Amino acid sequence: MNNAIRFSGRVLYLSQNPECIRRQLAGEDLTLAEAGALRDNISTDEITPVTVMMVYDERLGEFPYVGFKAGEKLPVGRNAVKNAGFEVTVAGKRYGKGSSRESSPVAELSAGIRLIVAQSFERIYQQNCDNIGILTTTDFSVLDRIAAGEAIEFSTFLEGRDELTREIIRSGGLLKYSRTARWPLPDSQPVVAGSPQTLVEKIISRHVHPDTPVVTRGEGVFIAADFRFSHDYFTGMSAHLMHQAFGQPARLIDPQRIIAFEDHLVLAPQSIPHIQQGLLEGVADLARGHSQFSRQYPVRSHGALRDKTGSEGICHALMIERYALPGQVVVGTDSHTPHSGALGCLAFGVGATEMANSWVTGYVRCKVPDTIRIQVSGPLARGVMAKDLVLHLLQMESIKAGGAIGAVFEYAGPAISAMSLDERATLTNMVAELGGMTGIVAPDEKAVAFLKERRDIDFELQDWMCSDADAHYRETIHIDGTRLQPMLARPGDPGNGVAVGDLSAPVKVDIAYGGSCTAGKRSDFDCYHEVLQWALANQYPFTTDTRLFLQFGTMDVHDYCEQSGYLETFERAGVVLIKPGCGACANCGPGQSVSAEQVTISAINRNFPGRSGPGSVWLASPYTVAASAIAGRITTFDELQQAHTA
């Protein structure tokens, strides 16, 4: 690796001002000062919207930033970045929020981007850049040096990174590094008594690569994964990368603990943009890549239903219902993999390159993280759910500014102990939005009961499966659960939090959506049913202006609703029921908006621009979504009941 790198291409400033973007695309070179305020919170949904992710190679270079929003405009068109000769991208805080999709940095790299300068980066996005050879830095002084024609010392791009990451960057990416590394067969190691540890630190210690001398907070390590899963967007991409690096067929480590889920694209034939934009052929190509891998190797698979109306279930929900166990390491090609942390797992999302490497080595890379303890007293007020707690955390200034990037959220306290496993899964699932590495709840008797009820497993908790009393935490956030209110996130970002009671004016809604991995669980459907059954029993008038869509997270949830008599209630209430699949949450199925004027209230996990169609999306809990569907405007179940008795 040369000691210095010269950048001869142009610099693209992702400004909040669409006119600045237009001028740059037209050939004008701006300075940082001339670009004005940079966009913060640029999500992977904006870098590569799901509707362009029909390929997984250099063809993605046609599309970077086509979903990028400056003001209220989408100023970047197809091939605009590649044709304009940009080599450096510059942005604000929390660049690369959202999905673990490696498609985003691959699109940038394929369009000619070699360096990204931002005030801060999301963990998965920056790790994906490291893995494929895009350089990143938070040092804005390099921009003046690039403008002056200077070569930049390579060490500049290693500052602040752990030693393992530095080695991977020096190697030019993970797979190049991997081919020269030693990969002993993964084997669980006992927890050794020593300095106090958090639960996540203990899990890492039990799974760490045996050549690691000591597990040190802040250092990068490889850990053995108990389960590795991919879904239909990225199985083909991961297999393609694996075969390029290791040949075909590759030798997989423990293939029975590799799981392929067909869930994200299964509802594409019912998705308006996929039909109108002629994307179904691309969906079929991704599905073929997924199925080819599943047939070529003896891995476990969960596919589409026979009638093609949905899937067996969404990957995160099935992982907790069928596979994950307390104390294990679970990784998946999706940022919401922390869902399984509700069982006391270390579960986190990775990109396609990381997954390809893990299939062959059995190991995944992570930095030994700091842990933030979320201590929640109780009880929660009536009608307040785990989703409201997460939306409360998301609107905290320290979280919005990226203060939790890469951290573990360890949830504890009386309010957490009282929650069902389904509710805890909402907390850990949405650590992706909080910017953390993962979320976790120490396993307890409720976890044991969940495993017995759902999977007929007689699981015995072990003494080590909790954080030590004097473990180190970066900070402890105390929340008085009795004071939490039903929350919302205004359109555009999950961090745009506001209490329902603080809305200054009524908000009319056209679409109400309950489902996805976050809100398609049994306890969520208990809430939808409770609200609708109450309204029917009390002859509360249903608005005719709002359509309510409810989507099952898994077919097990569907069967639970059928056995509980919920389906009849939903039919009487005029609900549109959807079989499992990511659907409208990924702008790929029923419940998505079709025009910019439409307003949706949704129980999904994120509401970045374009996430569920061109309309605006408010996030809320299942209770609030169902109540708002009845009223035709944003309201809570409690407000609905009070209005009826007034």
pLDDT digits (tens, 9 = 90+) for 448-505: 999 999 999 999 999 999 999 999 999 999 999 999 999 999 999 999 999 999 999 9
Whole-number pLDDT of residue 643: 85
Please give the Cα distance from 307 to 640 (Å, whole number).
38
Res 213: pLDDT: 80
Average pLDDT over every residue of 66-85: 96
CA distances (Å), 57 to each of 110, 236, 512, in order?
Answer: 8, 11, 36
pLDDT at position 253 over 50: yes
Domain boundaries, the chain: 4-172, 208-367, 369-487, 492-645
Quickly tell me which residue has 């029917």 as its tokens.
536
**Other CB atoms closer than 10 Å to residue 330's CB: what's the count?**
29
Tell me phi and psi for residue 438, to 5 degrees. Answer: -165, 170
Nearest residue to 603 via CA among 582, 627, 619, 584: 619
In Å, how far are 58, 130, 172, 297, 352 from 175, measured between CA atoms? Answer: 17, 11, 9, 20, 11
Residue 1 pLDDT greater than 50, yes or no: no
What pLDDT, on a 0 to 100 scale, did the predictor assign at position 187?
Answer: 81
What is the C-alpha separation between 175 and 198, in angstroms, rounded? Answer: 31
Q: Is residue 507 exposed (0-12), middle (13-18) or buried (19+ Cβ within 10 Å)?
A: middle
DSSP code at position 480: -
Whether 73 and 48 have beta carbons less than 8 Å apart is answered as no
Distance CA 237, CA 248 (A): 14
Asked if the domains 4-172 and 208-367 are classified in one and the same CATH topology, the answer is no
Residue 191 pLDDT more than 90? no
Token digits of residue 472: 């180190």
Q: Are the beta carbons of 228 and 364 closer than 8 angstroms?
A: yes
CATH class of 4-172: alpha beta
Question: At 417, is the pLDDT very low, low, confident or very high (cuts 50, 70, 90)?
Answer: very high
For 322-461, list the strands marked E by DSSP: 329-332, 346-349, 363-367, 371-376, 408-412, 438-440
Q: What percent of the chain has pLDDT over 70?
A: 99
For 608, other C-beta atoms within 10 Å of its C-beta total 24
Mean pLDDT of the chain: 96
Classify residue 156 by burial, with Cβ atoms within 10 Å: 0-12, 13-18, 19+. middle
pLDDT of amino acid 214: 85
Domain 369-487 has CATH 3.90.10.10: no
Contact of 579 with 305, CB cutoff 8 Å: yes
How many residues are listed for the chain in this entry? 646
Q: 395 pLDDT exceeds 80?
A: yes
Beta strand 86-91 pairing with 10-13: parallel
Residue 646 scores a pLDDT above 70 = no
> Rounded distance, CA 630 to CA 140, Å?
50
Give the mean pLDDT of 165-178.
97
Q: So what's the pLDDT on residue 632?
A: 97
CA–CA separation, 491 and 495 (whole Å):
9
Of the candidates 294, 337, 334, the one whose C-alpha atom is nearest the C-alpha of residue 317 is: 337
User: Which tens digits make up the pLDDT trace of 605-631?
Assistant: 999 999 999 999 999 999 999 999 999
CA dihedral 531, 534, 536, 537 (to 10 degrees): 170
- Range in 130-134, 190-194, 324-328, 627-631 the model is least confident about: 190-194
Confidence of residue 194 (pLDDT cuts 50, 70, 90): confident
Nearest to 536 by CA among 622, 602, 626: 626
Helix (H) / strand (E) element for 547: namely strand 547-551
Architecture of the domain spanning 492-645: 2-Layer Sandwich (3.30)
Strands 227-231 and 258-261, sheet pairing: parallel
Architecture label for domain 208-367 = 2-Layer Sandwich (3.30)
Of 146-160, 177-191, 459-473, which gets the smallest average pLDDT? 177-191
Instruction: Please give the sequence-ordered ranges of beta strands (E in DSSP) within 268-412, or none if there are none.
Output: 300-302, 329-332, 346-349, 363-367, 371-376, 408-412
List, in sequence order, every beta strand (DSSP E) within 225-267. 227-231, 258-261
d(Cα 321, Cα 323) in Å, to the nearest integer?
A: 6
Residues 553-582 have a mean pLDDT of 97
**Token pair recorded at residue 197:** 């540890």
Which pLDDT band, with edges at 50, 70 and 90, does 193 fall under? low
**pLDDT value, residue 192:** 61
Helix 103-110 with 123-132: angle, nearest 10 deg:
50
Beta bridge partners of 224: 363
pLDDT for res 190: 67
- Residue 441 corresponds to which tokens in the numbers above? 């709840």
Beta bridge partners of residue 120, listed in sequence order = none
**pLDDT of residue 639 exceeding 80:** yes
**Span 362-391, pLDDT tens digits:** 999 999 999 999 999 989 999 999 999 999
In the Cβ-directed half-sphere of 387, how many Cα atoms lie within 13 Å?
A: 32
